[in-house]
Amino acid sequence: MATRQRGRPRSFDRLTALEQATMAFWEHGYETTSVSDLTRAMGISAPSLYAAFGDKKTLFEEVVEAYAGSYGSYGGRAFAEEPTARGAIGRVLREAAELFTESGHPRGCLMISAATNCSTPEVEEALRARREANLTSFEARISRGIEAGELSPGTDARALARFSGAVLQGMSQQARDGATREDLAAIAEWAMRSWPAETTPAITPGAAQETASETPAGYGA
Amino acid sequence: MATRQRGRPRSFDRLTALEQATMAFWEHGYETTSVSDLTRAMGISAPSLYAAFGDKKTLFEEVVEAYAGSYGSYGGRAFAEEPTARGAIGRVLREAAELFTESGHPRGCLMISAATNCSTPEVEEALRARREANLTSFEARISRGIEAGELSPGTDARALARFSGAVLQGMSQQARDGATREDLAAIAEWAMRSWPAETTPAITPGAAQETASETPAGYGA
DNA sequence: TTGTTTGTGTAGTGGTCGTTACGAAAAGAC
DNA sequence: GTCTTTTCGTAACGACCACTACACAAACAA
């Protein structure tokens, strides 16, 4: 680790280049971003890209992973810090309204939009799997909220999770279509109106008792 | 019109070919559907396609127009036939749950998904404009509902319209991700929970009094 | 029949796609 | 210095993209 590399040193910063690739994929999606676009955005030549990141698909996978750990981490934080299901998912929607319209990066959510209309099945499926996983984590958190007495026992956890996810996905598309932050925030608030009010104050606040399986893996739906 | 064509007659049915092109674009989106895919799906050769439909972009525009008048017409019907704003938009969401999962054609909504991640700006903008137009028609209908006393005067028409549109767009994505019809129907019902109840029964039922500008131009969001 | 018009099939156009061979350049090891 | 290792820039690869030139086929008009 302290030992220097043997050969000629890399002339670019790998993390910076990865971030620039993230911006390109986030903006234009997997399929529409050509390797030529990538090399231009990253400021490196094609052979350097292939040497450092494998091929286009592998680079995209690394981008998605990095995105999940940075921009997409707000969901995990909300789940970890908010004591109730309603609080957690409400916060996810409200923070999404900010993230999706923040300046300094493209609009909307990379995981929601970057692999739509993608002719590489593995890439399309990889993002679909992440969306599914997040719906599942929504549902698990809601189920736990029902068990904890926060929500009425008759609550349909699957439906409420899918509804919340649909709102998040719609917010992403509207962000890309030019909606303002206030537009998205209003959508989030309106969605939370149909959430049943909590029947009991949360008993055990804090993150310690989460199940790993119900923590969103990066973005929110 | 009764006069026959002068030259060699076309060896395929233009409307059938258009329908097959619709299926291809609906399934894979504008960019990802190649002319080669199209000629295969339509059962004709490239020169025939170009002679009958212009170029790929023009064909897509014709596809979108035909889609708006057929599959996408449920929105206009709901607006024409339902007396209240709540009834109209609720019906749009419920019928979308069916359309988006119907067998015999691809899932979700062509207008919502077919131009995502599209590198041809005119095509991307054309569909975005249709989505915007439908949000506007949602908003106009809600505003009229407020004026008619169906909805509380304090209702934020823009927010409620965008919320409803976001749900519709999320439903389309989830349909493409494999959600069942029941999943989508439950999302629609849940969305309607946050809609305020009508404060007055509708006074003037029927379609006659619509303003043209508030009729959705083909799909719903 | 002959000419005109229109559609069809073959076979291409130049351009871009993702990817890579190859030799020069820049570092440590000896 | 020379060897080895790794990265660099140039310049391509075959495959596919949207699109079309061209010659032939099939209809009507004369």
Q: How many angstroms is C1' of C23 away from CA of B117?
A: 39
- B88 found inside a domain: yes
Examine the domain organization and report whether A48 and A134 are in the same domain.
Answer: no
Interface test with A, best of B142, B152, B169, B195 (most A CBs within 10 A): B169
Q: In which band, very low, low, confident or very high, does the pLDDT at A7 lie, cut at 50, 70 and 90?
A: confident
- Asked if A160 and B191 come within 8 Å (Cβ–Cβ), the reply is no
**Of A130, A154, A213, residue with least CA distance to A145:** A154
- Asked if A31 and B32 come within 8 Å (Cβ–Cβ), the reply is yes
Examine the domain organization and report whether A77 and A127 are in the same domain.
Answer: yes
Three-class DSSP category at B92: helix
The arithmetic mean of pLDDT across residues B46-56, rounded, is 98
Using N-to-C axis directions, what is the helix angle for B56-69 and B14-28, rounded to 10°?
Answer: 90
Residue corresponding to tokens 């009508």: B198
Examine the domain organization and report whether B54 and B104 are in the same domain.
Answer: no
The contacts of residue B129 (CB under 8 Å, 6+ apart) are: none
Is A200 an interface residue toward B (CB < 8 Å)? no
Share of chain B above pLDDT 90, in %: 84
Examine the domain organization and report whether B32 and B127 are in the same domain.
Answer: no
Task: Tell me how many residue pairs between chain A and chain B have CB atoms under 8 A apart.
Answer: 134
- A215 found inside a domain: no
- B18 found inside a domain: yes
C-beta within 7 A of nucleic chain C, residues 51-70 of B: 51-52
Share of chain A above pLDDT 90, in %: 84
- Looking at residue A52, the DSSP 8-state letter turns out to be H
Q: Which residues of A14-40 are buried (b: 16+ CB within 10 A; e: fewer)?
A: eeebbbbbbbbbbbbbbbbbeeebbbe
The contacts of residue B69 (CB under 8 Å, 6+ apart) are: B218
Question: Residue A18 has what pLDDT?
Answer: 98
What is the C-alpha separation between A114 and A178, in angstroms, rounded? 17
- Residue pair A37/A102 in contact by the 8 Å Cβ criterion: no
Q: How many angstroms is C1' of C7 away from CA of B48?
A: 7
What is the C-alpha separation between B187 and B185, in angstroms, rounded? 5
CATH label of the domain that carries residue A44:
1.10.10.60
**Chain A residue nearest residue B34, CA to CA:** A119
Question: Residue B36 has what pLDDT?
Answer: 98
Q: Kindly tell me if the per-residue pLDDT of A160 is higher than 80.
A: yes
- B84 found inside a domain: yes
Question: Residue B176: in which H helix or E strand, if any?
Answer: helix B157-176
Examine the domain organization and report whether B87 and B102 are in the same domain.
Answer: yes
Is A166 an interface residue toward B (CB < 8 Å)? yes
Dihedral (Cα; B133, B134, B139, B144), 10-degree rounding: 100
Question: Residue A220 has what pLDDT?
Answer: 41
- B143 found inside a domain: yes
Is A171 an interface residue toward B (CB < 8 Å)? yes
Q: In which band, very low, low, confident or very high, does the pLDDT at A2 lie, cut at 50, 70 and 90?
A: very low
The amino acid sitting at B94 is: R
Domain coverage including residue A55: 14-68
Largest CA-CA distance found in chain A, in angstroms, rounded = 65
What is the C-alpha separation between A147 and A200, in angstroms, rounded? 11
Question: Residue B87 has what pLDDT?
Answer: 97
Is A36 an interface residue toward B (CB < 8 Å)? no
Chain segment A17-74, per-residue pLDDT in tens: 999 999 999 999 999 999 999 999 999 999 999 999 999 999 999 999 999 999 999 9
What burial class does residue A121 get, using C-beta atoms within 10 Å of its C-beta: 0-12 exposed, 13-18 middle, 19+ buried?
exposed
Number of domains in chain A: 2
Question: Residue B135: in which H helix or E strand, if any?
Answer: helix B121-147
The contacts of residue B200 (CB under 8 Å, 6+ apart) are: B148, B149, B150
What is the C-alpha separation between B8 and B69, in angstroms, rounded? 30
Which residues in chain A have Cβ-Cβ distances shorter than 8 Å to B116? Answer: 29, 113, 116-117, 173, 176
Chain segment A115-154, per-residue pLDDT in tens: 999 999 999 999 999 999 999 999 999 999 999 999 999 9
Examine the domain organization and report whether B84 and B191 are in the same domain.
Answer: yes
- Which residue, of A68, A86, A105, is where some domain finishes? A68
Chain segment B171-212, per-residue pLDDT in tens: 999 999 999 999 999 999 999 998 877 776 555 444 444 444
Three-class DSSP category at A76: helix
Examine the domain organization and report whether A49 and A79 are in the same domain.
Answer: no
Is B180 an interface residue toward A (CB < 8 Å)? no
**Chain A residue nearest residue B128, CA to CA:** A177
Examine the domain organization and report whether A49 and A97 are in the same domain.
Answer: no
The amino acid sitting at B155 is: T
- Sequence-ordered alpha helix ranges (H) in chain A: 14-28, 35-42, 46-53, 56-69, 74-81, 85-99, 110-113, 121-147, 157-176, 181-193
